[in-house]
Structure 1
Amino acid sequence: MGFGFFNGAMLIGLSAMALPLLAHLISRRRFDVVSWGAMQFLQLGRKTRRRIRLEELLLMAMRMGVLGLIAFGMSRPWASGGALSALSGRASRDVVLVVDSSYSMGWKGPINTPHAQAIQWGHQCLDTLRPGDTVSLLDVRDQVRSVIDTPSSDFDYARQSLDELPTPSGSSNLASGVRQAIQILSRSSNASREVIVLTDSQKLPWRPEDIYQWTRIEDSSKRMSVPPRIWVVDLVGEVADRSNVAVGAIELSRQLTVPEFPIRIRSTISQTHPAQKRVVAHLEVNGQRVVEKSQAVELPANGEASVEFEHRFMDTGSHLISVVVDEDNLPGDDRADAVVEVADGIPVLVVDGDPRADPTQSDSFFVMSAFSAVRESPWVRAQKISLSEMNSESFQGKAVVWLLNVPTLTQPQAEAMIKFAREGGAIVFAAGNQNQAGWYNALPPALSKTLAPAKLIEVQSDVDLKLGAMRLEGDSLTAPWLERFQTDQGVDLTSTRFSQWWRMEPVAAEVVPQPNPGVPLPVANLSGEPAVPQTIPGGTVLAKLDNGAPWLITRPLGKGIVAQLAVPLDSDWSTLPSKNDFVPLLHEMVFAYSTQSTTRNVDLGAPLVLNQAALGEMVVRGPDGKETRIATKTEGDRRTARYTQAELPGVYEMRPVVGGGKTERFAVNFDRRESDLARLTPPEQEGLAKKGLVFTADPADIEKGAIDNQAPSEFWWWLLLIVIGLLVFEVVMTRRLVQGGHILIEPPLATPQV
């Protein structure tokens, strides 16, 4: 038999039991006795006085008992099992329905999907609730959506909320959902508290290996006055065949491009089936299938294969790209989406560090020629300035800044460049003969550590090192935008001869010192995991020469990126400008690094940001078809629309409320591991059962558990009946004493005088 209190602090009220006793002691005042002969005929007998004193003591005890029972009842005592629980009957229930809405719940079974069964089961659960019971509702996906956060007795609203749940999508985190459900129940008031998880018993959402998360859940449950019962309803059970074909996340050669410029779309098709299978992968652009680009893919047993498409966009704007396979029993992973932004020319700034009277001798000559020699309407709109002209205003509206053989920077210039990169811009340094080893050391240490992606050590040459002709190592070009220039795919980039180059070393990553080493780091996110120390990323080598020396090093900086080339982009140190791949290389570099400023493909929870938004309000349409209005505001030199409620994975559309502007698209990504339909193994279920979870496939078990004698039951109303009875008895005794004309007679303190 269990016993406890919901409001244990109210037991302090038991001290009020002393009030009647104090009142009795205070009222016992002693009086002088004046002898009067006639009083002897009014004195009571000894038996009568004893009876009156007993009645008064009994009356005082009843009053003390009434106060004690009131304080005891206000502490809300409960009992589970035993006679008290049996007498109390079924306790009022606080129920939290936790619905698994990952896309595995969209599996098309013989009758219905598990998600539809979960909604149906939720309605059946609501039918079992009575007046006084409450219900809450959590929609668990990659993030937990609190549909009904405060326990509610409005069951009609709960039914409506169940019916309005969006279709399954993305992954889910049931461990986080259970913890949030326990937090809701910690604020509830009924004696019976239950968490009911409706799921397909897939392993991934439970995170059984996350010991930290489950320890927090266990501790939260134990801290409650009445630990909740956590039920897990398996809506699928064992299914003989759950083979599935899934499309992996889309990889784009670039997210920002220009009209008529080719873009490569790559994805992975996988299957969970013990036999080889042939599937057809389709490419869709803005919802329209490009039939001539469909590809047949041979999938090995329980294996995967890559698929790649190439496409050219003719119009500017944001375009939706989709890789699709024919629908199977799990349609949630039969397609993958991404958004490509097509701009009418990308604005860049070219800073010439060694301008000459003869333009053909300037470091910027070949770069400017490459950007203007492609077509009448250039894909890259380049503006050239000298180093002395560069200031913070020079970066406005630019996507990439090229610094060609720039010998030094002033502190204001460096600060402006850091701000530009942190806001999403890209900076490319091309070192040449004007640079000195450690040139960035002239800047304050805080700026040089932030801005420099590499250390310039010394100039080397193939003659001094006696290495012969030095070229690019084709196998080192593994970045997506560099793959087309590999030896077996490119034209002639890897045949470029380099006579001189800067020996460079990438800067190392740095950990920001903790301000107070003795103070624990704060909580980083809603899952309760502790924050990790902040780390400044180091440089990454993207391309090498034949001797292993770095040729291109990059480093992220805020939302942007900083790159360092080991050679200038003229003909002094290499034959690079004479190669056919020179122009495509510079364009690919611009497109790849301009992507830093676009945020059309984001992870779940990240805001959707539209730069250069129209005046007034914007309408955002989510994957569930619901529309929301948001206001635009000015951020720096841009007018921006920012949507922070992207709680569902999928495609979002944003357009002006008035004016009929273009529809801008965004893709919110999710964890594709959800395609793994592996169920919890018996040992994993046993491990979770030790944490307090009860697995069942029969919903009737839950209703039975709510009314069995192990469920906590309050019995304060029994105490209320006793208090009422004592009050009635107290009134009767008081009337009896008063109507009898009796008062307290103290024994004489002295012998009366005759």
Structure 2
Amino acid sequence: MIQFINPIFLAIGIFISGILIVIRLLNSRVNQKLDFGTTRLILQAQRVSQKHRQFKKNLLFLIRILILLGLAVAFSKPSWTQRPIASNFSSYRNVIVLVDCSYSMGIKVDKEKDLFAILKSSVDSALQELTTSDRSALVSFSNYAKQEKRLDENHQLTQATLDSLQISSRGTNLLRALQLAEDLLQKTTSGTREIWIASDQQKVGWEQFLVAKNKIKEGMTKQLTVKFIPNGTVEKPANLAITDLNIEQQNHRTVIQAQIRNFGSVQQESIVRLFLDETLIDSQVANVAPQQVVNSQFSIRVKTKKKQHTGYVEIIDQSVQADNRRYFCVRPNSPIIIHLLDQTNSEMFYVQSALNSMSSILSVFYTTDRQLPSHLSSRYSVVMMHEAQMTELEQSTLHRFVTRGGQLLIAAGISPLPKPTNLLSELYPCEFSPDLVKLPKMLTQIDFSHPIFRSQQQYQGDFAQIHFEALRSCFPKPSARVIASFEDGTPLLVEHTVGLGRVVFFNSRIDRQTTDFPVRSIYLPFLHSLISYLGSSKAKDITIPSQIVSDSIDLKSILKNVKNINQEVLICDPSGQEHRLVTRKNQYAYFQTIELAGIYKISTHGFNDAKWTNFAVNIDTVESDLTAYTKEDVLDLIKKRYKTEILIKPNDNTRATLGQGLELEKNKEIWWFVLVGVLLLALIDTWLSNYQ
């Protein structure tokens, strides 16, 4: 039988040819002519010559119509397919082919081919064994499943669709693929039902299946046969991946720390390179033990007039290529401008001394006053204060400063304050009781993973010796993070976000009135770290948060000038493709078409906008763990749900097992024969056109 991969071209060719023939017939109508006696002989001779010319024109028209139809047939790619013809046509098969397109399929099996190419070749060979009465469909899957080709007898189109599949940047979820296959097979009324799985059988891909076994349709699964196509997976795959980036501002420099993990079973060495604005900045060598993590740290000075810088850290690894890069966007270092609210002209003495000592290692400027400046939001980065009585105007100014991205440090006062207003209560990360806790406490619980304490683990014993004589009785809000607390659970340092800003509450004085902290040696390192954290953590942070492939991104978190009503937003992905969104009233501005890792550009002023805003998108490195189930493990995993078997790649022995009455012949593509015929017709047309 003849099958067409692109039948639309044939339909278009036939339609255009029909129109040309109709026009030709309408223009060839003969008008009645009256001959005079004196010209009859001359006209008869002319008519004989006209008949020869008309025949030539008709022949040329026919040849050109055949050339047009030949090109249409060639573009539709016909193939003469004599597949196995089943002796029993009532026992045909309905086959759903599931092809894993997650990025772990890019693992190199040898120097020339990756696992994805090998599996596609195996599936292609298996499809050739289907009979003319069998039906096949194709489903690609990663962390979601998509039907690529409908269930029908056109196996040639299934093979062509298979060839067009590409590896994605997503993870794996076999549960969704199996559920889609079951939904498709549920619509069939006769024939056997089979699901072919072409995957690396990665363990993380089966996690959702194990968790949600109850979602599988019991009635359908007993009638299904699942067949696994051998994949030739490496038993102990080696893979290095950059799993995380941490970017901080330290001592006038930007420190970029890349976390590199070895998912394999042998020690690996790799070159780690840092690129900023497409320029190689630095490189180093990392040695990573099996199943261990190392950190490669780069320290650079970012001081240019550009508002944003883009870059990435990459490793050289020949296994899976997708997880070799981690992208980021940073802003240049900017000075930290602090306002100290000092209502007694003395309570900020120790803080001022600490700030003065920081000037040599960090760009810090500060002002001191008993009141908040009116231009607080436009100029200052950080406000530091003790609890104090404030006017409604000052409360409103402080609240607006924080919600617009400012950083606020509040230290506990000497005596309990009246119940705060709604504006102030929203700023505090804690709820308070009216009593002071005056019993001495020991500071024992410190989160050393937090940036404030990350560089001070060696001082853990010194923190425990600090004396605090007065503490506020407080309880952290659900959204707050406790950074340090006492032995009875009373918080000392708590933070939470308000709007675009952050509030840190220190549950004691930062002068000498109720504690000896300011006279201890660890006071300066702590205060330096705290101010560095607040100064670099403003909503206009040095790091623009990165996203993950397949995430939905709220554009307002990246572009602050995005409005809710009829504003067009232009997004350019790493491949250069443009995406346009129009914000609507009472709707969020979400961008959901994130399929590539890399740097995205976004603008509200059109493609020619010079002020693009960038954001980075990275892959989810959960998929980088290539540990896979063996075929025996997978069969045991699902044997209670399905009939299972291994679908062996066809060869002379397996073909013989198809049974008597099956006759095999390879597909014969005939479209190139059609092209040869078109070429011959074109030569005949040229000869006739020049023949007198």
**What is the TM-score when the length of structure 2 is the normalising length?**
0.63
- SS of 1:563 mapped into structure 2: strand
The AA in structure 2 aligned to 1:262 is T
Structure 1 partner of 2:531 = 586
Q: Measured at CA, do residues 617 and 477 of structure 1 come closer, stay the same or move farther in structure 2, by a change above 3 Å?
A: closer
Q: Distance in 1 between matches of 2:638 and 2:268?
A: 36
2:632 paired with 1:682:
yes
CA shift digits 1:90-142 (9 cap, x unpaired): 5363534332423244233365211112333454456566778765443322x
Task: Tell me by how many angstroms 1:170 deviates.
Answer: 4.5
Structure 2 partner of 1:618 = 570
Q: Distance in 2 between matches of 1:397 and 1:630?
A: 34
* Structure 2 portions without partners, runs of 5+: 1-85, 661-692
Query: 1:631-642 residue pairs with structure 2 within 5 A?
Result: 631=581, 633=583, 642=590
Task: Tell me by how many angstroms 1:203 deviates.
Answer: 2.4
Structure 2 partner of 1:232 = 228
2:451 paired with 1:480:
yes
Structure 1 partner of 2:71 = none
Q: Measured at CA, do residues 337 and 613 of structure 1 come closer, stay the same or move farther in structure 2, by a change above 3 Å?
A: farther
Task: Tell me by how many angstroms 1:647 deviates.
Answer: 3.6
Task: Tell me by how many angstroms 1:249 deviates.
Answer: 1.4
2:430 paired with 1:453:
yes
CA shift digits 1:476-529 (9 cap, x unpaired): 543134312444699xx9699776552454437xxxxxxxxxxxxxxxxxxxxx
Q: Measured at CA, do residues 553 and 149 of structure 1 come closer, stay the same or move farther in structure 2, by a change above 3 Å?
A: farther
2:299 paired with 1:310:
yes
- SS of 2:255 mapped into structure 1: strand
Query: 1:379-394 residue pairs with structure 2 within 5 A?
Result: none
Query: 1:471-510 residue pairs with structure 2 within 5 A?
Result: 476-487=447-458, 501-507=470-476
Q: Distance in 2 between matches of 1:348 and 1:131?
A: 77
Q: Percent identity?
A: 12
RMSD value, Cα: 5.4
Q: Are 1:430 and 1:568, in contact at CA under 8 Å, matched by a contact in 2?
A: no
Q: Are 1:438 and 1:456, in contact at CA under 8 Å, matched by a contact in 2?
A: no
Q: Measured at CA, do residues 339 and 300 of structure 1 come closer, stay the same or move farther in structure 2, by a change above 3 Å?
A: closer
Q: Distance in 2 between matches of 1:708 and 1:451?
A: 78
* Structure 1 portions without partners, runs of 5+: 1-84, 509-535, 710-754
- SS of 1:586 mapped into structure 2: helix
Structure 2 partner of 1:666 = 616
Query: 1:71-470 residue pairs with structure 2 within 5 A?
Result: 88-91=89-92, 93=94, 95-109=96-110, 112-124=113-125, 136-141=137-142, 143-146=143-146, 148=148, 151=151, 161-167=161-167, 169-187=169-187, 191-207=191-207, 210-219=209-218, 221-222=220-221, 227-237=223-233, 239=234, 242-254=236-248, 260-270=252-262, 272-274=264-266, 276-291=267-282, 293-297=283-287, 299-300=288-289, 303-315=292-304, 316-333=306-323, 335-342=324-331, 345=334, 352=341, 355=343, 360-361=345-346, 370=355, 374=359, 404-407=386-389, 428-433=408-413, 436=416, 439-440=419-420, 452-453=429-430, 455=432, 458-459=435-436, 465=440
Task: Tell me by how many angstroms 1:270 deviates.
Answer: 1.9
Q: Distance in 2 between matches of 1:459 and 1:478?
A: 30
Q: Distance in 2 between matches of 1:163 and 1:155?
A: 12
Task: Tell me by how many angstroms 1:552 deviates.
Answer: 0.8
Q: Measured at CA, do residues 585 and 431 of structure 1 come closer, stay the same or move farther in structure 2, by a change above 3 Å?
A: closer
- SS of 2:171 mapped into structure 1: coil
Q: Are 1:246 and 1:270, in contact at CA under 8 Å, matched by a contact in 2?
A: yes
Task: Tell me by how many angstroms 1:643 deviates.
Answer: 2.1
Structure 1 partner of 2:507 = 566
Q: Distance in 1 between matches of 2:361 and 2:202?
A: 56
The AA in structure 2 aligned to 1:692 is Y
Q: Are 2:175 and 2:206, in contact at CA under 8 Å, matched by a contact in 1?
A: yes
Structure 1 partner of 2:666 = none
Q: Measured at CA, do residues 251 and 481 of structure 1 come closer, stay the same or move farther in structure 2, by a change above 3 Å?
A: farther
The counterpart of 1:600, out of the listed 521, 540, 545, is 545
Q: Measured at CA, do residues 263 and 633 of structure 1 come closer, stay the same or move farther in structure 2, by a change above 3 Å?
A: farther
Q: Distance in 2 between matches of 1:348 and 1:150?
A: 63
Q: Distance in 2 between matches of 1:188 and 1:367?
A: 78
Q: Distance in 2 between matches of 1:220 and 1:599?
A: 50
The counterpart of 1:645, out of the listed 589, 593, 610, is 593
The AA in structure 2 aligned to 1:478 is S
Structure 1 partner of 2:64 = none
Structure 2 partner of 1:531 = none
Q: Distance in 1 between matches of 2:118 and 2:368?
A: 61
Q: Measured at CA, do residues 694 and 366 of structure 1 come closer, stay the same or move farther in structure 2, by a change above 3 Å?
A: same
CA shift digits 1:153-180 (9 cap, x unpaired): 7777755654443435453111222123
Task: Tell me by how many angstroms 1:542 deviates.
Answer: 1.1
Q: Distance in 2 between matches of 1:399 and 1:674?
A: 39
- SS of 1:436 mapped into structure 2: coil
The AA in structure 1 aligned to 2:314 is V
| Bigger-Rg structure (1/2) | 1
Q: Are 2:227 and 2:644, in contact at CA under 8 Å, matched by a contact in 1?
A: yes
Q: Distance in 1 between matches of 2:314 and 2:329?
A: 17
Q: Distance in 2 between matches of 1:259 and 1:348?
A: 15
2:542 paired with 1:543:
no
Structure 1 partner of 2:31 = none
The AA in structure 1 aligned to 2:116 is H
Q: Distance in 1 between matches of 2:578 and 2:157?
A: 22
- SS of 1:564 mapped into structure 2: strand
- SS of 1:115 mapped into structure 2: helix
Say which is worse superposed, 378-387 or 643-652, in terms of deviation.
Answer: 378-387
- SS of 1:484 mapped into structure 2: coil
Q: Are 2:105 and 2:167, in contact at CA under 8 Å, matched by a contact in 1?
A: no
- SS of 1:679 mapped into structure 2: coil
- SS of 2:216 mapped into structure 1: helix
- SS of 1:294 mapped into structure 2: strand
Q: Measured at CA, do residues 342 and 383 of structure 1 come closer, stay the same or move farther in structure 2, by a change above 3 Å?
A: farther
- SS of 1:201 mapped into structure 2: coil
Q: Are 1:284 and 1:323, in contact at CA under 8 Å, matched by a contact in 2?
A: yes
Q: Distance in 2 between matches of 1:409 and 1:189?
A: 77
Task: Tell me by how many angstroms 1:659 deviates.
Answer: 2.8
Q: Measured at CA, do residues 692 and 495 of structure 1 come closer, stay the same or move farther in structure 2, by a change above 3 Å?
A: closer
Q: Distance in 2 between matches of 1:683 and 1:120?
A: 24
Task: Tell me by how many angstroms 1:294 deviates.
Answer: 0.6
- SS of 1:250 mapped into structure 2: strand
Structure 2 partner of 1:575 = 518
The AA in structure 2 aligned to 1:290 is I
Q: Measured at CA, do residues 93 and 245 of structure 1 come closer, stay the same or move farther in structure 2, by a change above 3 Å?
A: closer
The AA in structure 2 aligned to 1:330 is V
Q: Distance in 1 between matches of 2:358 and 2:317?
A: 46
The AA in structure 2 aligned to 1:252 is N
